[in-house]
Structure 1
């Protein structure tokens, strides 16, 4: 969701973005967040966890997908919260393939994960933010393809393949559609 900066009337509206995958610190695409932070287009706000349980799975090339199927997963998803400028948001939207049908940016409710052992349920104020969910055109099929088994936090498993190292003969959306239509035993992911 958007929040108004009140320090100066000239500051633009910023959006709170929940990062649960490769944009997190220490992961493959965090270089974009570092660039946005250095240009004052993003601010790291801390570790957060979803209020509801969601499925989090890896698709083709080890790409993480948060599925907009609240209550279907068994985990409150851990990630990071950033305050992002409109210019920064446009760059993240581009990376996430919003116009290509890879992800959808939708609301999500979060709690700080700074409690004892990161227990989000020990109290605290609910934060309204936005997250990049797998596009609805394949989310349910992705959940079925993964055997309705997800995880609570994306960790580097060695499966993630950077964009420049992926096959060029198909688009990522085509790869995703092939992945969800294949049987689990016919794929290594």
Structure 2
């Protein structure tokens, strides 16, 4: 089996992006490029980090980056993102071409966003 087939592709949209405070977590992994989601998500400001939620209508095309991560190391990223604590869930993400069929995953926020500021299409490093 090809080693690259075993890698997990992760779409990051906030503090894990280049230039932001948690980028060091993914910087040692292979950067694949920039990507944009299908317009089925909303991005919210949750204080020092953003949260991506899937919506039934009025979604936005969220901008982010893709990284190929070794399956043994994905647990480290899951821990940083609070998956075990129930803050986020890692799920398949719907991306636009050329990444549409990449099989990428992302972290969806599981908390309440009813009072959070809508960020539109992207998280700015200055917002962290």
What is the TM-score of this pair, normalised by structure 2? 0.86
> In the TM superposition, what is the alpha-carbon distance from 1:12 to its structure 2 partner?
7.4
The 4+ residue runs of structure 1 with deviation greater than 3 A are none
Structure 2 residue 30 is matched with structure 1 residue 43: yes
Q: Does 1:132 align with 2:101?
A: no
How many residue pairs get matched? 127
Q: Is the 8 A contact 2:10 2:68 kept in 1?
A: yes
Q: Greater share of strand residues, 1 or 2?
A: 2
State which structure, 1 or 2, has the greater radius of gyration over its C-alpha atoms: 1
Aligned to 2:74: 89
CA RMSD, aligned part only?
Answer: 2.1
Distance 1:64 1:31, change over 3 A: same
More helix per residue: 1 or 2? 1
Task: State the distance in 2 between where 1:28 and 1:125 align.
Answer: 26
Unaligned runs of 5+ in 2: none
Asked which structure has the greater RCO (Cα within 8 Å, sep 6+), the reply is 2
Contact map agreement 1:110 1:128 (CA 8 A) in 2: no
Assess, with a 3 A threshold, how the Cα gap between structure 1 residues 12 and 54 changes in structure 2: closer, same or farther: closer
User: 2:35–2:99: 8 Å Cα contact kept in structure 1?
Assistant: no
